[in-house]
A and B are shown apart, each in its own frame.
Chain A
Amino acid sequence: MPVRARPISPHLKIYRWQIGNTLSIMHRLTGVGLSIGFLALTYWFVAMAGDPQGYGFAAHLFGTPVGLIAMLAWSFAFFYHLLNGVRHLFWDAGYGFGRSERHASGWLAVAGALLLTLGAWTLLWHFGRL
């Protein structure tokens, strides 16, 4: 049996940049970000089980400029990963593979994530919780 060159994945360096692969990379990046966010969430629960001083320190950390930027990034990552994840689930069920459907659902995930992030922070700001 002749040995043939096995098929390989499209190589990132020569892959033409477009919305499909950009959103795919974003899905992976936001996933990694949310995994780190899981550690922050764990820290929050552990601080809650401890004394008020420790919890106050945790609350202080989340309220610093770096903490707030991280929370903003995590909220966008969450909404994007959620919407794009649902997009993936539709694909897994066999729907939405057409060119126009792929593009429309992709832009919908990005726009939806931006809107939901904006909405959540507007709510927090509106009720004076920032």
Chain B
Amino acid sequence: MTLRSPLRQAVGLGSAKSGTAHWWAQRVSAVALVPLALWFIFSLLLLPNLDYATARAWLQVPTTGFLAILLVGVIAYHSYLGTVVIVEDYAHEEGFKVLGLLLLRFVHVLAAGAAIFAILRVAFGT
């Protein structure tokens, strides 16, 4: 017979741990992406072409630059949350999993940083 309570034996065993925060963040970013992504697609479809001058002129419009930065930020966040779950689901070996999670975080921050910096460079014309 053990003196440990049933609660003590259950705590920490579940896969969720801090599940709701992740789940909720995934949903909030999904809701934000619906208008942002639709704006992006239709905004691009409406351009006469996508050559260098046209694309830059489009991105230099303040609203476009602002929304593009929001889009990149929310995509990176949503994509990070989603791919993390996939690594957690399929990478069973602990070292491999930690490496995968670390790599995902670096790649997402790097890509988002590069994209946002590029948008700012175009917007402010340097």
Q: A residues within 8 Å of B by Cβ?
A: 1, 6, 28, 31-32, 34-35, 38-39, 41-42, 45-46, 48-49, 52, 55-56, 59, 78, 82, 85-86, 88-89, 92, 120, 123-124, 129
Contact = CB atoms under 8 A, between A and B. Distances in A.
A48 B41 CA distance: 17
B83 to A, nearest CB: 6
A24 B9 CA distance: 33
Given A38-B79, A41-B115, A48-B59, A78 B41 contact: yes
Q: Is the interface of B mostly helix, strand, loop or mixed?
A: helix
A104 B53 CA distance: 45
B51 A59 contact: yes
B98 interface: no
Contact of A32 (B13, B34, B83, B118): B83
Given A1-B9, A35-B83, A120-B45, A48 B114 contact: no
Q: Residue among B6, B13, B83 with the most chain A CB within 10 A?
A: B83
B67 interface: no
B101 interface: no
Interface in B84-121: 86, 107, 111-112, 114-115, 117-119, 121
B115 A35 contact: no
B31 interface: yes
15 contacts: A31-B82, A34-B79, A38-B79, A39-B107, A41-B115, A42-B114, A45-B122, A48-B52, A49-B118, A49-B119, A59-B52, A85-B30, A86-B34, A89-B27, A129-B49
B61 interface: no
A42 B6 CA distance: 50
Given A31-B79, A48-B122, 11 more contacts: A1-B2, A38-B75, A41-B115, A42-B111, A45-B118, A59-B51, A78-B37, A86-B34, A120-B45, A123-B45, A129-B48
Nearest to A27: B82
A1 B34 contact: no
A9 B59 CA distance: 46
B82 A48 contact: no
